[in-house]
Structure 1
Amino acid sequence: MKSDDQFVEKVVEEVEKFQGNIIRVTEQVVELPDGRTSKREVVYHSGAIAILALTDQNEMIVERQWRAPIRAVSYEVPAGKVDERDTEIIDTVNRELNEETRLQAGKVEAVAGFYTSIGFSDEFMTLYVATELTPVANALPQDDDEMIELVYWNFDKATEMFNSGEMNDAKTVMAYLYWKTLQK
């Protein structure tokens, strides 16, 4: 097996192409390990969390919402980006759960961390399980550009959505597959 050093690319030049509220996009010129050069388009992201929120009735809370990039309605677990409001990542979990579901969790546990689309982005997401859910006393304002409908799926319904392909969001699939391991 080759060592990791034999795969390392050296960034020769990096030019910013876009700076937005959520992402920064650059174009890199890289030197490949064999000396040739190539270009890479890279999307930088602050990081994100996803939440498998399970009710006392063992239902998964899912958000039904429009997603412009795919021009379709999607079913997704609550999630959001880490930002300057959060001193620790658990703050992001609590904030997003509050904003999107109007709930708070008595118990939160990190499950796994993963890159969402490693071929072009550095976005790193951590999946959490939130249980012992109760209504929040002080609800935070929801993002004014999001229309979210909360849906509650029991395990059979989630399995049906997974098997039919209607559950096609990666973080939601990851959450479901983890939930499936808890069913034994």
Structure 2
Amino acid sequence: MTEPEFEIEDTPESWPVLKSRVLAEGGISAYHEDLVRMVDGTEARRQYTTHHGAVGVIVLDEDGRMLTLRQYRHPVRRLLWELPAGLLDQPGEPPLAAAERELYEEAHLQAAEWRVLVDYFNSSGTSDEATRIFVARGISEADGEQFARQGEEAGIVVRWIPLAEMVERVLDGRVGTSSMVSAVCALQVALTRPGGWDSLRPADAPWPARPF
């Protein structure tokens, strides 16, 4: 029997929700439980968190180095090397504007050229959190005063590292945040395919997970 042909592309779908309740709410997320009718007619409970979503930036200088920030993350009890990144928690703020804001606040930098590098769901089995990673070039010091970091951001350490070296750190397990792994691997591939930088999507490309 021949199986039907399917386009290999994520598509919208919503199975019937028979009951829904909020189990807990926090500052940036809420924990839900839904009773869902499965494709075979059975019913199952699914618990998941809803989340604003986030943006991140892989910043490249003229020497092929990328910017990385060391920041404390309490849930995993580690100092992690990350990209400039932040929440989509400002009403009406487009993803690119959020990325520009985070780059200014966390590194006091601005960029002349922006592209969309990769979009992904952080943990689709347990959360609706979605992240868009931009890649930025044409880097210069930001206009205006240095942003006053507070809380865990007060301890941020900023470093530049060759992209190829960060790829090695990801592949040997020394650096492992989801945004960093996705970004450096995607960019390493993107820069070697036909068109390189110009083959990447424009900075205002549609984002079905977080329409804007």
The residue aligned with 1:79 is 85
> Which of 160, 170, 179 is the matching residue for 1:171?
179
The residue aligned with 1:141 is 148
The one-letter amino acid paired with 1:157 is E
| Residue 155 in structure 1 maps to residue 202 in structure 2 | no
Separation in 2 of the partners of 1:57 and 1:64?
21
- CA separation of 1:113 and 1:160: change in aligned 2, threshold 3 A: closer
Compute the TM-score of the two structures, normalised by the length of structure 1: 0.88
SS at 2:89's partner residue? coil
Compute the TM-score of the two structures, normalised by the length of structure 2: 0.78
SS at 1:180's partner residue? helix
SS at 1:84's partner residue? coil
SS at 1:55's partner residue? coil
Separation in 1 of the partners of 2:136 and 2:99?
9
SS at 1:145's partner residue? helix
Separation in 2 of the partners of 1:129 and 1:159?
15
SS at 1:119's partner residue? coil
The residue aligned with 1:129 is 135
Give the Å deviation of 1:114: 1.2
Give the Å deviation of 1:145: 3.3
- CA separation of 1:86 and 1:97: change in aligned 2, threshold 3 A: farther
Q: How does 1:46-85 map to 2 (within 5 A)?
A: 46-84=52-90
Is the 2:117–2:187 contact (alpha carbons within 8 Å) kept by the matching residues of 1?
A: no
Separation in 1 of the partners of 2:29 and 2:117?
25
Separation in 2 of the partners of 1:8 and 1:81?
25
Q: Which moved more, 1:65-74 or 1:99-108?
A: 65-74
CA RMSD in angstroms comes to 2.2
Which sections of structure 2, spanning at least 5 residues, go unmatched?
Answer: 194-212
Which sections of structure 1, spanning at least 5 residues, go unmatched?
Answer: none
Identity %: 25
